[in-house]
Each structure stands twice: as C-alpha cells, then as structure tokens.
Chains A and B, each alone.
Chain A
Amino acid sequence: MNHKYIPHTEQDIKKMLDTIGVSSIDDLFREVPSEIKLKRDYNFTNSLSELEVTKRLQDLASKNKSSDDLTCFIGAGAYDHYIPSVIHHITNRSEFYTAYTPYQPEVAQGTLQYIFEYQTMISNLTGMDVSNASMYDGATSTAEAMMMAVAKRRKNKVLVSKTIHPNTLSVLKTYAKYQGVEIKMIETKDGITSRDDLEDKIDNTIAGVIVQNPNFYGRIEDVESYVDLIHEHKSLLIMNVNPISLPVLKTPGEIGADIVCGDAQPLGIPLSFGGPYIGFLATTNSLMRKMPGRICGETTDIEGKRAFVLTLQAREQHIRREKANSNICSNQSLNALAVTVYLSTLGNQGTREVALQNIKKSHYAFKKISALNGFEAVYDGPFFNEFVIKSDYDYNTIKNTLYEKGIISGLHLGDYDNSLKNHILFCVTEKRTAKEIDHLVDVLGGLAHA
C-alpha cells in the first residue's frame, strides 16, 4: 500500500522493522481481524499546498453547526447559557491554563485559592456544609454520591427515581455493577417521583435515595414532602440538581439533603460539543470523610500569613489506598476556575436574575407552544427551564423543519422511552430572546400548512 503522507522512507521502515524483529508492517497488525482492516488505498487524490489543505479543512469544519450558528432550544443536561467574556480571559491566562492538578500543592497557592473559593461558593449555593474540589462531570458526581451513601450506611441497595436523566442512570448502573450495589427504580407519576412507590420500596436496607431536581422532564420535584420518610428509614437523600436553578429554589441544604451532586456546566462552561464539563459534590459535615477527591483548606503559614493546603485528599489517595471509598484523586480544576469566576462575576443578584429569566422565558415559550394546534402540554405543575410538549407531528419532521430555519429543536423523549413518541423536551435559557421564541412558535405553528 502506498502511504503518501507518511514521511518515512522504505529504508527507515525496514530499519525499524529489523530492530523490533518483524518482517513487514502487516505483521504488526496481525492481531487485527482482516474484516475490519482497510483494504484499499487512502482516499487522497492529489497533493495539496498548505493553503489548500487549510481551506479544505476549514470547509469541512464549517459543516459542524453549533449553538453559535443556530438558536438552541435543547437542554437535557447540557445548557446554552450566557457566559460573560471575562471568564474566558481569566481561564486562558497561562498560569491557570497550563497548570496541572497540584500534586505538589503548596507551590500552587493560586490554584489552591480558587479551589477554596469554588468550594465556598458551591457550599453556599447548595446550602451544604462542605464541597469537594469538583469532579469529572455530573454523572460521575452522582455515582460517587451513591458510593458515599453505600459506604456510610454499609448497605448495598439504593433507590433511584425514574425521573433521573437516562445518561446519569447508565453511569450509576455501571458503577453499581462493579461495586456490588443493587439499584431499584422508583416509578414516575405525572412526570415526578411517585411518593406511593417510594413508600412501598423504602425500608431499612436502603442506603440512599437518588432524586434529580429539576428532573429529566424539567419538572420541579416536591422532595421536601418525602425527605422525612427517607430519613426515618436511616437512608440518605441524594439530590442531583441543576445549579443554575438553586438561587430561586429552596436549597438542598434547607430541604435536608445529605449529599448534593450535579453538573456545573450551566455555570460558565461552554457546550463544547459535550465536554469537558464539571461535576460538583457537596455534603454535610458528618459525611465529609466519605467524600471522594480532595478538599482545599485554609490555614496560616509559619509567618502567620493566610495560606491554602489540600486536606482530606491525602487520606484517600495515600493512606487508605485499597480501602478507599473512591479511586478519584484529582479534580476538574480549570472548569472549577471558570465556575468560580462565573459565580463571582454574577454575584447573588446576578445568579438570581439568571434563574428568574430562565423561568420567565421558558414559561412564556411553554404557554405559546402549548396553545398551538397539534401541540399540547404533557404535565401541569412547576418547572424550571425545560418542559415537555406532545406533538401530533412526527418528531423528525419538526426537527428538520426547525433546522432549516436555523433552530435546534428540543430533545426527542421517544429516543429514550417508546411510550413518549413525539414528546419533545424544550429548554429555554436566559439567552433566548422574545423574538427567537416567537420565531420558534411561528415555525411550529406553520407545520399545519406545510
């Protein structure tokens, strides 16, 4: 085969093969089944100049349409929020951007300080006593929360509400499978967790109950009405929450949650085609020692100056080792910085304003869409920035029509649940203008004439 773009000469290749003692390149790939090997030449016709290559790659890349090119009405775990430009300028500073996870913590005081600030803000936002320094993403933090409950209660069963995001659930199941944890699902009623089913299933063998709020269907769960039931059975309440909703909802701490987890992507992290995101994890003082990852603490140095240190991390990572509750010993540091800058830029008033705008704009869209012929609201009751609409039209028709008009449709719930065919989960954030929402409504309304 002729490898036009590989710079090695025949002699180079022969020398390398001789050195490792094989006769041909094909020998190197003998383990790869022949049916999955490429048996033709690469599809490169002519050699191109640098300028031509750049142009061609740019053309290919521009086929990707992002939320910058289209108007986005999809959420379901990854949200198109406004990101103040200051965040990018700070996170792109080389002293932050290039710094690696501080394994020699004391030399990275700047990193430790922002982690400390991050923890403080997450604790305030969730109403919990302590936060760790962040985790890989929201699904990871939820799975780690499950393992915390299992370790604390020394029981291997957990209940998970069916209103949780299916992707989070599949990560939970993966962890559970390999850690010997049994997951039982709590049924849904009208798009929220069924209290009756929770009552039936909870008993003293359950380590924890996992509920998402606002849930996968955008609905706000009445967690407060069953927190006592969970605690009466010595079980722990784990709440997976959308952090941007917290300034206007009762905090998980006020509700009585034992562990709070979720993805902090809405707090200043771009969609970026799905990642990297950042998980947050917060808990009570009594569960602090079961928390994975690391906590940054404040202290004074020998001269009495304010200084920062990594604290609990040492125990899990270096002392407990095989007994450790989790093998995570790092955090999503640069994104934690972005979250810290986001929260400090907006402040209490700004985050509250963002949350209120999400509510107002999504409710405006909800009223208009559910009033259209061929579209109806599925649930009645409080929601944050997402809602489910059932349509008489085929989802693909809706999606394609919207796309032609420069709009990204909501998520098709039928892809996750056969009984929810042509049910669409729309998301409206503070970024959407009244004009954009009206445009969406017009295009949907026009389907009747299409």
Chain B
Amino acid sequence: MKVLENLYYTENHEWVRVEESKAYVGISDYAQHSLGEIVFVELPEEDDELNAGDVLGVVESVKAASDLFVPISGTVLEVNEHLEDQPELLNEDPYQNFIAVIEISDESELDELMNSKTYTEFCDE
C-alpha cells in the first residue's frame, strides 16, 4: 500500500495536497484497494461551498458505494471531470488523480488531519 509523504490524510481515507491556498483532494491507495474496481465517481459542482465533513461526492465500485467527505472547509474551485468518463483512473493512480480542488477558507483545519506516518499507522491497525 502506497502512502505519499507531504500529504495530509483523513480517517475516511481521503488525501489532501496543499498548494498555496488550494487543497487538492483525492482518495488514498488504501481506499481504492478496499473499494475494488471503481465504476462511477459522483463529483461536486464548481462553486459549491462546503464545510469540513460535508459530502464531497460518491465513489462507487462493483462492491460498494461510499461517500467522500471534504476534509477542509472552502469553495470548490475545480473538479476532475476526467473521472466522469474514466472512473478507473482512481484505481490506476489515486494520488495523481485528484477529485476536487478546494479554496481553503481556514488553514487551521489542516492541523486536524493526519500526516503520512500517522496515517500509515492508522491503516495498519
């Protein structure tokens, strides 16, 4: 299972990559592994204003349909529309394929998230 350094992680297996005031959000390698073959991704809409913990979208695999939660409050700047036609990209490379980009409204919320080391331990439990 791949865990990248320099990313933040959540207990729901989302990752966050911060670039200036933007947060790229995706699902971890652990998540795509447990879900299996991903067949559909429901994305949020641009300009949606979300609070940390709100539903960002849905990832549906042949086994299950799981809600994605937004790890950090803010406005949706961009969504990865490639996933609508090619949901399997999340299986192929979950870290290269973000789901949405959020304009961070409160940076202090990042402190609530796990780093790669804590997340690796969390997944091992």
Q: Which residues of A contact B (CB under 8 A)?
A: 154, 234, 289, 315, 319-320, 323
Contacts and interface: CB of A to CB of B under 8 A. Distances in A.
Given A319-B64, A319-B65, A323-B67, A289 B45 contact: no
A234 B45 contact: yes
B42 A289 contact: yes
B37 interface: no
Nearest to B60: A315
A167 B67 CA distance: 35
Interface of B: 40, 42, 45, 48, 55, 60, 64-65, 67
A315 B65 contact: yes
A287 to B, nearest CB: 11
Q: Is the interface of B mostly helix, strand, loop or mixed?
A: strand
5 contacts: A234-B45, A289-B40, A319-B64, A320-B65, A323-B67
Contacts of A315: 60, 65
Nearest to B63: A319
A146 to B, nearest CB: 19
A240 B45 CA distance: 26
A289 B67 CA distance: 14
A154 B65 contact: no
Nearest to B64: A319
A319 B40 CA distance: 14
A323 B65 contact: yes
Nearest to B61: A319
Nearest 4 CB-CB pairings of A with B? A319-B65, A320-B65, A319-B64, A315-B65
Contacts of B64: 319
Nearest to B39: A315
A154 B48 contact: yes
Contacts of A323: 65, 67
A289 B60 CA distance: 11
A323 B69 CA distance: 14
Nearest to A316: B65
B52 to A, nearest CB: 16
A289 B45 CA distance: 15
A59 B56 CA distance: 64
Nearest to A285: B84
Nearest to A204: B47
Contacts of A234: 45
A323 B65 CA distance: 9
Contacts of A319: 60, 64-65
A306 B123 CA distance: 44
A323 B66 CA distance: 10
Contacts of B55: 154
Contacts of B48: 154
A222 B60 CA distance: 39
A234 B76 CA distance: 15
A292 to B, nearest CB: 15
A59 to B, nearest CB: 58
A320 B45 CA distance: 22
A58 B111 CA distance: 80
B32 to A, nearest CB: 17
Contacts of B40: 289
Nearest to A320: B65
A319 B67 CA distance: 12
A319 B65 CA distance: 6
A326 B60 CA distance: 17
A289 B57 CA distance: 12
